Amino acid sequence: MPRVWVSVGSNIDREHYVRAALNDLRELFGDLVVSPIYETEAVGFDGDAFLNLVVGFDTELPPSRLHGLLRAIEARHGRERGAEKFAARTLDLDLLTYGDAVTAEGGKQLPRDEILHYAFVLAPLADVAGDELHPQLGESYRSLWQRFAAADRHGLRRLDMPSWLGEIGRGAV
């Protein structure tokens, strides 16, 4: 059964929506591996800071079905999709990897490019899957993070683990 990694982000009522998403994911998929939470400045627009983390779980559902489930969770929690790619949001859930697959099944390229471009994706992924290899590059996420340019980290700050996070999943680090 493939391990999948999903990025979770919110900059509107952040703790509420992150908790809601994690609870929904746990109900659907069981035990979650949960990264530390990071706070980062909004990227691409002026807005409140985001909370970001990565969660992992095992599933046999195909990527196309997972993409649909993640969009449904976002919609259930007030995510409004507009023409703007970069905007405030209650919830942002992105399937990052599907085991070691390289595929565009479901309309999104996996592994997601965001892994290599955004500190708020790569840092928590390196925390929970540091020894796993990027399916295309053959390099560990930890190694990729170590080389990530400090100038591109957009004020990334690791937060203390909130007590409610331990109720939701097995934390890493």
Q: Is 10 helix (H, G, I), strand (E, B) or coil?
A: strand
CA–CA gap between residue 10 and residue 35 (Å, rounded): 15
pLDDT interval class at 90 (50, 70, 90): confident
- The CATH class of the 3-171 domain is alpha beta
Per DSSP, 136 falls in state: T
Residues 6+ apart with CB under 8 A from 138: none
pLDDT for 89 equals 83
pLDDT reading at 126 higher than 50: yes
pLDDT for 78 equals 74
pLDDT reading at 163 higher than 80: no
124 vs 79, more confident: 124
Q: For residues 101 and 138, is the Cβ–Cβ distance under 8 A?
A: no
CA–CA gap between residue 2 and residue 60 (Å, rounded): 7
pTM of the model: 0.90
pLDDT reading at 167 higher than 70: no
pLDDT for 135 equals 96
pLDDT reading at 172 higher than 70: no
Amino acid (one-letter) located at 160: D
Three-class SS string for 49-106?
CEEEEEEEEECCCCHHHHHHHHHHHHHHCCCCCCCCCCCCCCCEEEEEEECCCCECHH
